[in-house]
Structure 1
Amino acid sequence: MTEDIVVVAGATGGIGAALIAALRDDARYSHVVALSRRRPDRWTDDARRTWLPADLLDDATLAAAARRIAGLGTPTRVVVATGLLHAPGAAPEKALRALDAATLTRLFEVNATGPALIARHLLPLAPRDRASVFAALSARVGSLGDNALGGWYGYRASKAALNMLIRTAAIEHRRTHPLGVCVTLHPGTVATPLSQPFAGSGRELFTPPTAAGHILRVLDGLGPADSGGFYGWDGAPIPW
């Protein structure tokens, strides 16, 4: 029987690293596969975990990673823990006059296109005869229905695009993998370089291990009827 494995994309990020640490001793999986452009610091492959180089926007590296993953086992859980909110010279926009074409393009590439390409390569590897979960980390600010404050144009729009891409993939995936689940998740505000600079006073700030625990508990509670949904760190549905 093919062994079940778990894949985490974004292994060098705070949440990705915490997910890998939490999953390493999970007896349900024979192997944890980490994907990222560069090898995580102090990483050593062993009998329980493997790092594979993969660039979210490079089809060749994703195809190569998918082939290696297929050789290790069947991915019954895939978590895409990648994202971009700010970068040198680019910050969340507070007004329309701050919009920049290059920054918008980069946000959509990292936050929407990349996770969709991972889905393209890895969803076909999911088992057809038992449960599986594919989850991409989104953000509550990507909800149109929950947007009361405005601002953050590029990040909001790119996460909304991610939600639509994964919901659409879930519909297609259900036709061939009726027990499979595809969702997007809001992990809360986490003490990582991505969101910590914008953690305002009074907002609950999670450590990466705490956020990883929330994510894994939510995924464990999902079933086929939940596929295509958008959920918060507490498992509650988030409006589109």
Structure 2
Amino acid sequence: MRGSRSLWYAMAGAILSMGAPIGLLVVRELSVPQPIITELSSDRLTYVYVFLSTTIVMASVGFALGRQADQLAALSETDPLTGMPNRRALNRRLIDELHRAVRYRVPVSLFFIDIDGLKQVNDREGHATGDRMIRGVAHAIAESLRETDFGARWGGDEFAVVAPSTGADAARASAERIVAYVADQTRADRARPTTVSVGIATFDPAQIGQRSDIEIDSLVRAADAALYRAKAGGRNRVHAA
């Protein structure tokens, strides 16, 4: 109570999600006329309490649903075996980087990486061994990437990397580093190190003779064709389109 003319009160409630506090909601009432304090203050307090409780519940549910939607979105773009981004996530990132390349006139490269001999390992030692091989290669690829690169599992025994602001020469150097790093990091896991082959396609809008824009499918086909030539050339190597 403040003086004889008004009633002052406040209620506060914690907004919880999965038992963890995520916010605080405060409802405050000032200047309730003195003549109705005695008759209505209890009712008004009850009303404020109900309002506060309802709002807290709605806020908690809304936050939980929003967080669940974010988690589902993240899961939809994550490969369950390796924990890397999946093909869907890479396609979205590649589109963004192609738009950026056109806007700022900078190159962007796409790598396709294939595990050499995975089918034979699956046939000879079983898919559990093959899955361990995939996870090991995924870990090595992730560790070998630059901060600006975006790596993902494309599917099966293939991975892909988007390398922003990376021309043909820099892309080859990065791909060679990935090939060497994968072999080095997997050497202790098997009698022979696991090797990979890499195909590279580069889009450079500033290069004379190239189109000022390109479709994602064109770059994917070029990288895939380069990977095929790397495999045909003896594997454990890099080929650029």
What TM-score does the superposition give when structure 2 sets the normalisation length?
A: 0.32
More helix by share: 2
Bigger Rg, which one: 2
What TM-score does the superposition give when structure 1 sets the normalisation length?
A: 0.32
